[in-house]
A and B are shown apart, each in its own frame.
Chain A
């Protein structure tokens, strides 16, 4: 029996699961009827496709599923990640199986975290016309253009911060009228920051020195020679940092 309290909260959904309402979408030009609450990815699968190129993590991290679409009565080209964007009535869509581009090859150890590196590796950045098309195309809602502008100034920390959440779907690069490869500039900026600009941790060095000096060897030996029940006792008695 449910408690009176639970009843009062009304914690059960009213009635049964409704049948999903359906919408019509055009997948690569072909009409399909799919559930209204489907993501683009599920809609494509519902239509019977086995996705090979165009799905990776399925949760919005990998950028494998870049999709472009149009909506009825709307001239705009929209962009989104198929795994997290919901379908809409009349949506006309296609996934982008790959984004052709050249990555600069470099030795991180030989770079400096400043504008000369950008000039050397991605001179195309300086073609930016500040149209903001890249930011509008970003399915993550990043300020892509701002980090490209930061790259032109050699502001590596800003590239790092603004591109941190980039999933490298490459939709920005496909839409850019100046043919910049924004997401590649992003990863370069982040690596430069991590390698050269991030504050140094003394504790980390100390710990590694201790390890090399064999400080924990004896303790390891003791732990590893313990029988299960001894180890278990020690484990359940260990103090836990708040």
Chain B
């Protein structure tokens, strides 16, 4: 239920709806898209990445001297959880041995394991929470794939590279867009249920930055449908794939030649450090929303703390595009309990319109994400056209009732059951009333740099999915990350498992961790932060202080208790 004081603004939205509906039906853009100059201007002035303090130079490691997102620099300039000296026995006698270690049981990780099994290679998935407790589970809107006759993979290429401001690695964009149609078919073979037209052809919709309708979907549960399908398939191969849940990786292991040969896991259940020796390793640990960059609320799952970046960086891997963060234009801001929750872009794809407190359009609904987010922030700040939520947040309306008017009654309920349910719990019927939105911290655009083989600069170390950097440049388009983890998860699984067949690894060591600590102290970096962060802490500050008193007898530098990552919302 919206509070009384919003009634006037809601009326204003209703009052302009008929006009806006007419516009939408006209086939013309409902608002003039920005030119390249206008885009740059709004980004410079309003995108959080451009704000003072958003970036900080990292003083150590492979990207030394580069400006990265401040919160990323903080977790890179942090201490390890493990004391290498104490790990000796476990390095000589590893707790686990496997041909292929996969760090992270989300979409990319599951695909890698499935492909490795198909290639006759045994693997182990070590994951932080349960399998599928991952950003993959949460995607709602859809996946881009150039399947429609009016579309082509090369158009997809142009859209993706334009969305990424022409900085994406072309080789990766080609692979991404070329594999799209095949991924659709492969997923269907595994039992994914695509939205289709009556004649069986794939239903396609627009997303931000698409020049053709290209978004394929599974109602608004694409993530849940794909993730559960992949998990189910992984669990159908217990002889080939070992799954270790609640055992996140915290450091990589290298051998004498500097090749990656496994990782140290930390059991959240027993607080033990466990070593895995592996012939090759793939990081599929996803993104970093739970770092609450610049205090933003996030759409991400509980375990999205950028651990892969930290581990890989300490071992010497280069990062790419880690100075840019994706804020999703349409995060919920009201009610407070769901602040930060994602409202799928498909709502705009289906005709939903962002409007200000007077019910006026102020931005083309399908600008790329960074541009949309910046425009919404401008509307709420400089222009003062936002709606106050009463909990120190401001937002603008996302007009959803217009969707049924465009597509017929019942469309919203059928196509957006998750959204209808989420708001319904708080007495807001999105078929009748709009939603209040504000940008939410959503996606790690960059990551560990990979080439077309998903390889990093460390032999034996592969990365796929949100943890990787290069394919999206500094701005990922909607639908391209679901495609990303499918395309590159499969690819990494094939290539790394092939690599495992011939790779010879030596004795694992943690010397790089010792070296990194020395580099840190030589550079005069002081930090009380331990990374990877593993889980954010949402305990109230006063309680946390009392907990810290216990540190003396907790296991080595237990990161969660010391976590300073609790800004932003407390959801």
Interface residues in chain A, defined as those with a beta carbon under 8 Å from any beta carbon in chain B = 2, 5-6, 8-14, 17, 37-39, 41-42, 45-46, 48-53, 55-62, 64, 84, 86, 103, 105-108, 140-141, 160, 164-165, 167-168, 187-188, 190-195, 198-208, 211, 216, 219-220, 223-224, 228, 231-232, 234-236, 238-242
Q: Which chain B residues lie closer than 8 Å to A6 at the CB level?
A: 357-358
Q: Is the CB–CB distance between A62 and B132 below 8 Å?
A: yes
Q: Is the CB–CB distance between A192 and B9 below 8 Å?
A: no
Min CB distance A183 to B, Å, is 9
Q: Is the CB–CB distance between A201 and B201 below 8 Å?
A: yes
Q: Is the CB–CB distance between A13 and B421 below 8 Å?
A: no
Q: Is the CB–CB distance between A103 and B181 below 8 Å?
A: no
Min CB distance B515 to A, Å, is 31
Q: How would residues 218 to 247 of chain B score, 1 for a CB under 8 Å from any chain A CB and 0 otherwise?
A: 010101110011001101101000000010
Identify the closest chain A residue to B218 (Cβ): A164
Task: Given the known inter-chain contacts A6-B358, A17-B390, please indicate yes or no for A191 contacting B191, CB distance below 8 A.
Answer: yes
Identify the closest chain B residue to A225 (Cβ): B170
Q: Is the CB–CB distance between A61 and B137 below 8 Å?
A: yes
Chain A CB within 8 A of B119 CB:
no
Q: A-B pairs with the 4 shortest C-beta distances?
A: A191-B191, A9-B8, A199-B200, A56-B133
Binds A, one of B79-87, B142-150, B253-261, B525-533: B142-150
Whole-angstrom distance between the alpha carbons of A134 and B41 in the complex? Answer: 55
Chain A CB within 8 A of B567 CB:
no
Q: Is the CB–CB distance between A193 and B219 below 8 Å?
A: no
Chain A CB within 8 A of B182 CB:
yes
Q: Is the CB–CB distance between A60 and B421 below 8 Å?
A: yes
Whole-angstrom distance between the alpha carbons of A224 and B169 in the complex? Answer: 10
Chain A CB within 8 A of B52 CB:
no
Q: Is the CB–CB distance between B538 and A57 below 8 Å?
A: no
Q: Is the CB–CB distance between B138 and A57 below 8 Å?
A: yes
Name which of A52, A61, A198, A199 has the most chain B CB atoms within 10 A of its CB.
A61
Min CB distance B76 to A, Å, is 24
Q: Is the CB–CB distance between B236 and A106 below 8 Å?
A: yes
Min CB distance B399 to A, Å, is 16
Identify the closest chain B residue to A239 (Cβ): B211
Task: Given the known inter-chain contacts A11-B8, A59-B341, please indicate yes or no for A140 contacting B185, CB distance below 8 A.
Answer: no
Interface residues in chain B, defined as those with a beta carbon under 8 Å from any beta carbon in chain A = 3, 5-9, 11-12, 27-29, 35-36, 129-130, 132-134, 137-138, 146-150, 152-155, 157-159, 161-162, 166, 170-171, 174, 178, 181-182, 184-185, 188-194, 196, 199-202, 206, 211-213, 219, 221, 223-225, 228-229, 232-233, 235-236, 238, 246, 268-269, 299, 301-303, 335-338, 341-342, 357-358, 384, 387-392, 417-418, 421-422, 425, 535, 537-540, 543, 547, 560-561, 570-571
Q: Is the CB–CB distance between A232 and B166 below 8 Å?
A: yes
Q: Which chain B residues lie closer than 8 Å to A236 at the CB level?
A: 35-36, 162
Whole-angstrom distance between the alpha carbons of A88 and B142 in the complex? Answer: 36
Q: Is the CB–CB distance between A11 and B341 below 8 Å?
A: no
Q: Which chain A residues lie closer than 8 Å to B153 at the CB level?
A: 211, 216, 220
Of B162, B418, B425, which one neighbours A61 at CB under 8 angstroms? B418
Q: Which chain B residues lie closer than 8 Å to A103 at the CB level?
A: 232, 235
Of A42, A168, A205, which one neighbours B228 at CB under 8 angstroms? A168
Min CB distance A86 to B, Å, is 7
Return 29 A-B CB contacts under 8 Å, by A number: A6-B357, A6-B358, A10-B8, A12-B388, A17-B390, A50-B535, A52-B246, A56-B134, A56-B303, A59-B138, A59-B338, A61-B137, A62-B133, A62-B137, A106-B236, A165-B224, A190-B193, A193-B193, A199-B199, A203-B147, A204-B201, A206-B149, A207-B149, A211-B178, A216-B152, A232-B166, A239-B211, A241-B206, A241-B211
Q: Is the CB–CB distance between A11 and B357 below 8 Å?
A: yes
Q: Which chain A residues lie closer than 8 Å to B560 at the CB level?
A: 50
Q: Is the CB–CB distance between B158 and A238 below 8 Å?
A: yes
Min CB distance B556 to A, Å, is 17
Min CB distance B413 to A, Å, is 12
Of B7, B133, B191, which one neighbours A195 at CB under 8 angstroms? B191
Of A17, A57, A200, A223, which one neighbours B391 at CB under 8 angstroms? A17
Of A45, A167, A232, which one neighbours B162 at CB under 8 angstroms? A232
Q: Is the CB–CB distance between B157 and A220 below 8 Å?
A: yes
Min CB distance B412 to A, Å, is 15
